[in-house]
């Protein structure tokens, strides 16, 4: 027993030492105190030379509405290439001048050279601990001095590579060389052979890693996550209007796509910079579409941010997509209260029927993956075996209760008449075989997005699903919350479910861009002529090259299915047209499904 204890102690000591070494250096450390008369003031601060804190961090690190919560963790972006994180705490006290409430925050600034968020989350636990101690005695600033001396940045500090035992904060993105470049006629592309293994199951996440909130993200948005993902791919300006606390919403902002900058928490003080960024974008549309535009401060790229100031939501010129989160008390409602997504002009954004089916498949696969990590009970079943009730299903099977279906009607578009007519005719004409084949292909596509992650179901599988690496039975009879019944894996750093979600959306993004890129390549295949002596033929070839950019690219229903989009939905067709314009600078001609009788199109 003594040997075991000694070994455990040594392991803990080594782990603590490694954790200290993994802390990114900080450029500033500050203590903010709330004064009833003066408001938020900086009570103590340390920073590297030239980094201004006064009049900035006290507003960015403490959004409005925090007085109504006990604690919070706030992320924000600071000028001069720094990310910030502050730990807020609100505790009762006996001071009448403070209205019997002591509100303080301890925060740091970390260089963005260490990652999109500067890996600032690694300081979160220490900041929360210092805030709790200072809330009891604000004069204990010696702990701040000690932390500053231990973690302060120096001229010799270099940005390290990512830890081998922790997955980086940024989601897998599509490199510019992986899709056709509209600057060259060749449209050469190096396909990523590792797009399915960007994250291995043995990768880990630390305790406060923002990706820990990905399962909560799915629970909060449901099928709305897919139109939001498409808006992110289009580099839209996405604003999330929410209430305090903002920690989880900040975690939601981890950009899953190329060139989308997370601004995290913003407020009224950020309006001038947002207006200036919009002005720069309008002055230089489409310029500099090369590697230089990958800079974090590029005004031509989109962003995602959250705010507790409702006035920003009222200024429609500042954002392209507005997401309004339900108030915290809605969690106690009898029916699910979903966020609302809209474009300027109060134009609502809803998920498609295809999004709903894909969401059900995703939740089913993740539920199986989460069940594997749970311990086996004495009866030989996992803790959530009964709730999963895994059995064969198709895209037409109801997998949520009736009351949930009523709530989903508010965020999911109904099937179009053309889709219903086409489906009914094909079912009648093929005795149901064509419909089952379509469902099978759709299920295979959805399952492939979680290949190598979600385990095979215990019972029941889709017939003839024999492709290697493709999961069987991607649907289940229920979609329980992924946060219920899960074992806490924070201590060992395991996060298979969260990493599977990242891989899922990475593959979905790759599928969309690859299919459109292939269509552009096929349309731009040059015509070769061996007769080099014919001057007229050479002039004709040059004229054809000039017309290539103006000729629309053909996208048919098969391409829609390969991208996992809804061929019947006009919003998905608009998305394809905009994606082709943004990424390839080409127009698109969308050809949907239909039925012709004697040359007359009936649907």
Tell me: the pLDDT tens digits for 14-54?
344 344 447 899 999 999 988 777 778 899 999 999 898 98
Residue 209 is encoded by which pair of tokens?
């890693």
Is-contact 480 218, C-beta < 8 A? no
Q: What is the pLDDT of residue 251?
A: 86
pLDDT digits (tens, 9 = 90+) for 584-600: 999 999 886 655 555 55
Query: In the predicted model, what is the mean pLDDT of the chain?
Result: 73
Q: What value does the mean pLDDT take over residues 427-450?
A: 71
User: Is 283 buried (19+), middle (13-18) or exposed (0-12) by CB count in 10 A?
Assistant: exposed
For residue 155, what pLDDT band results from cuts at 50, 70 and 90? low
- What are residue 112's phi and psi, to 5 degrees? -70, -10
Q: How many CB atoms lie within 10 A of CB 325?
A: 21
Segment 163-174 shows an average pLDDT of 45
Give mean pLDDT, residues 363-370. Answer: 86
The whole-angstrom separation of Cα 28 and Cα 497 is 34
Confidence of residue 494 (pLDDT cuts 50, 70, 90): low
Whether 512 has a pLDDT exceeding 80, the answer reads yes
Classified as helix, coil or strand, 241 is strand
Most confident of 22-36, 446-460, 517-531: 22-36
Pick from 93-102, 144-153, 309-318: least confident = 93-102
pLDDT at 171 over 70: no
In the prediction, which pLDDT does 461 show?
44
Lowest mean pLDDT among 15-29, 213-227, 435-449: 15-29
Task: Using the predicted structure, report yes or no on whether residue 385 has a pLDDT greater than 80.
Answer: no
Query: Is the model's pLDDT at 4 over the cut of 80?
Result: no
Confidence (pTM) = 0.78
Bridge partners, residue 322, by sequence: 239, 342
């Amino acid at each position: 027993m003594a040997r075991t204890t000694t070994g455990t102690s040594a392991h803990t000591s080594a782990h603590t030492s490694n954790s200290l070494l993994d802390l990114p250096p900080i450029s500033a450390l500050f203590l903010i105190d709330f004064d009833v008369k003066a408001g938020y003031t900086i009570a103590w601060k340390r920073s590297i030379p030239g980094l201004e804190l006064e009049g900035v961090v006290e507003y960015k690190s403490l959004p409005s509405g925090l007085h109504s919560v006990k604690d919070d963790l706030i992320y924000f972006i600071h000028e001069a290439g720094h990310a910030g994180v502050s730990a807020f705490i609100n505790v009762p006290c006996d001071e009448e001048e403070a209205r019997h409430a002591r509100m303080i925050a301890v925060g740091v600034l970390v260089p963005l050279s260490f990652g999109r968020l500067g890996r600032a989350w690694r300081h979160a636990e220490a900041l929360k601990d210092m805030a709790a101690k200072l809330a009891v005695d604000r004069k204990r600033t010696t702990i701040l001095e000690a932390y500053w001396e231990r973690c302060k940045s120096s001229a010799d500090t270099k940005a390290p590579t990512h830890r081998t035992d922790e997955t980086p904060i940024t989601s897998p993105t599509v490199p510019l060389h992986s899709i056709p470049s509209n600057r060259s006629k060749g449209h050469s592309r190096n396909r990523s052979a590792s797009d399915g293994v960007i994250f291995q199951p043995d990768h880990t996440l630390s305790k406060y890693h923002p990706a820990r909130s990905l399962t909560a993200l799915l629970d909060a948005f449901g099928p709305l996550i897919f139109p939001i993902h498409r808006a992110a791919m289009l580099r839209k300006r996405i604003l999330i209007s929410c209430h305090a606390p903002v920690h989880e919403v900040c975690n939601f902002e981890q950009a899953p796509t190329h060139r989308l900058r997370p601004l995290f928490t913003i407020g009224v003080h950020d309006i001038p910079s947002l207006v200036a960024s919009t002005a720069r974008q309008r002055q230089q549309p489409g310029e500099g579409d090369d590697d230089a535009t990958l800079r974090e401060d590029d005004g031509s790229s989109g962003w995602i941010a959250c705010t507790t100031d409702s006035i920003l939501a009222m200024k429609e010129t500042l954002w392209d997509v507005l997401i309004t989160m339900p108030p915290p008390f809605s969690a106690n409602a009898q029916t699910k209260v979903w966020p609302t997504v809209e474009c300027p002009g109060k134009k609502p954004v809803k998920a498609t029927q295809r999004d709903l089916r894909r969401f059900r498949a995703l939740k089913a696969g993740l539920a199986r993956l989460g069940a594997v990590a749970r311990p086996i009970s004495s009866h030989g079943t996992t803790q959530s075996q009964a709730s999963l009730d895994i059995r064969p299903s198709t895209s037409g099977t109801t997998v949520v209760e009736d009351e949930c279906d009523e709530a989903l009607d508010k965020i999911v578009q109904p099937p179009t008449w053309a889709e219903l007519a086409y489906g009914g005719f094909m079912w009648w004409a093929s005795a149901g075989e064509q419909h089952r084949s379509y469902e099978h292909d759709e299920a295979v596509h959805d399952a492939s997005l979680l290949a190598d992650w979600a385990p095979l179901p215990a019972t029941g599988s889709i017939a003839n699903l024999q492709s290697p690496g493709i999961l069987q039975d991607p649907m289940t009879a229920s979609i329980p919350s992924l946060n219920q019944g899960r074992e806490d894996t924070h201590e060992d750093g395991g996060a298979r479910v969260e990493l599977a979600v990242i891989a899922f959306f990475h593959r979905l993004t790759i599928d969309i861009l690859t299919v459109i890129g292939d269509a552009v390549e096929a349309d731009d295949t040059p015509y070769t002529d061996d007769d080099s002596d014919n001057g007229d033929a050479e002039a004709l070839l040059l004229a054809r090259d000039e017309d290539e950019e103006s000729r629309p690219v053909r996208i048919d229903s098969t391409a829609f299915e390969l991208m996992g989009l809804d061929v019947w939905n006009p919003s998905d067709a608009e998305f394809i047209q905009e994606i082709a314009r943004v990424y390839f600078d080409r127009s698109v001609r969308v050809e949907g499904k239909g039925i012709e009788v004697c040359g007359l199109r009936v649907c």
